[in-house]
Amino acid sequence: MRPVLIKGAGVVGLVTAYELARRGIDVDVVERSEGIGAGASWFAGGMLAPWCERESADEKVERVGATAIEWWKAALPGKVAQEGTLVVAAARDTRELDRFATRTTGYRWLDADQIAELEPDLAGRFSRALYFPREAHLDPREALSSLRDTLMAMGVRFHFGQATDATISHRFGWRIDCTGRARLPDDAALRGVRGEMLYLRTGDIQLSRPVRFLHPRHSIYVVPRRQGLFMVGATMIESETCGPIAARSLMELLNAAYALHPAFGEAEITETGTGVRPAYPDNLPRITRSGSTFCVNGLYRHGFLLSPALAHDVAERLLNPNHQSEFHDEP
């Protein structure tokens, strides 16, 4: 097979490159930024939480996303923490827990003592919680960097700071467009969903797993990183506007973090960030083909969760034209 060119070095592009390279296909990746980390993938939560996501997502997200945990563990050994997900709510909002439970599976109820055993720093703060023990999480920035290094060791060539593939395009038999939001002007079905997040640093609280804090208006998640760092996210705003985090969003995220634990009130804000995530009307991704180009897009807020399955389908389709998946959308 002639070499394949992948456009975009976000999570979808890198995972697709991995799936192709491990099948022995020659791969180049072209990225208009000077390195990885310029897109929405850099600001992701990194939660591999298909059972929690079912609360507001199609059943495909749960079913297909459940395979992502083992994929990431195999691709990046030691980079995935499988400690589950804890879902809590303030005493006045415990109805949100019941609502969440009716829309999800794969959990068990915890009482106050069990919460304290699981997360000692949350002892006495919540009377009950939902625990999803099979879920996992990773650090997106560490994962993207490690995946890039792995791909380079596999012989994948990267072309950073290159807006187009014109200078090398003659070499390739297939192109795979994984450019995310850059496709918004060219695909009328795509829309942008703005997400905002922040990083807090504190040594006054420790968490072993992501905690989702439910609220009727602005639920959040807090994901532990290393060295006392916590990612707090995220808003979902129907907007294609980039730029700094909005004041209202910042206040909502901080207020919710403080409600989860007052120690976050004294934390240092080390970073805020925004990203525009492309989505189709049904919030499910699509693989489309035009001539010798496949486009993989519309992963919405499920980039790390669904990209392994989409990349697998693209790779199999290149090797077997009769291969089909439920994400293919071809004329």
> So what's the pLDDT on residue 32?
92
pLDDT over 90 (residue 164)? no
Distance CA 132, CA 115 (A): 12
Same domain, 211 and 260: yes
In a domain, 66, yes or no: no
pLDDT digits 0-9 by tens, 79-128? 999 999 999 999 999 999 999 999 999 999 999 999 999 999 999 999 99
Same domain, 26 and 118: no
Q: Mark 276-312 as b/e (b = at least 16 C-beta within 10 Å).
A: bbbbbeebbbbbbbeeeebbbbbbbbbbbbbbbbbbb
Burial (CB < 10 A; 0-12, 13-18, 19+), residue 160, is: middle
Number of domains in the chain: 2
Same domain, 150 and 172: yes
In a domain, 206, yes or no: yes
| Closest among 176, 157, 169, 143 to 316, alpha carbons compared | 176
pLDDT over 90 (residue 331)? no
CATH number for the domain harbouring residue 299: 3.50.50.60
Q: What angle is formed at CA 178 by the lines to CA 174 and CA 184, rounded to 5 degrees?
A: 120
CATH number for the domain harbouring residue 105: 3.30.9.10
Query: Range of 289's domain?
Result: 4-45+139-185+281-319
Same domain, 165 and 239: no
pLDDT over 90 (residue 1)? no
3-state SS class at 63: helix
The answer to whether residues 134 and 51 touch, using CB atoms and an 8 Å cutoff, is: yes
Provide the sign of the torsion angle of the four alpha carbons 12, 16, 22, 24, taken in this order. negative
Tokens 């439970």 sit on residue: 101
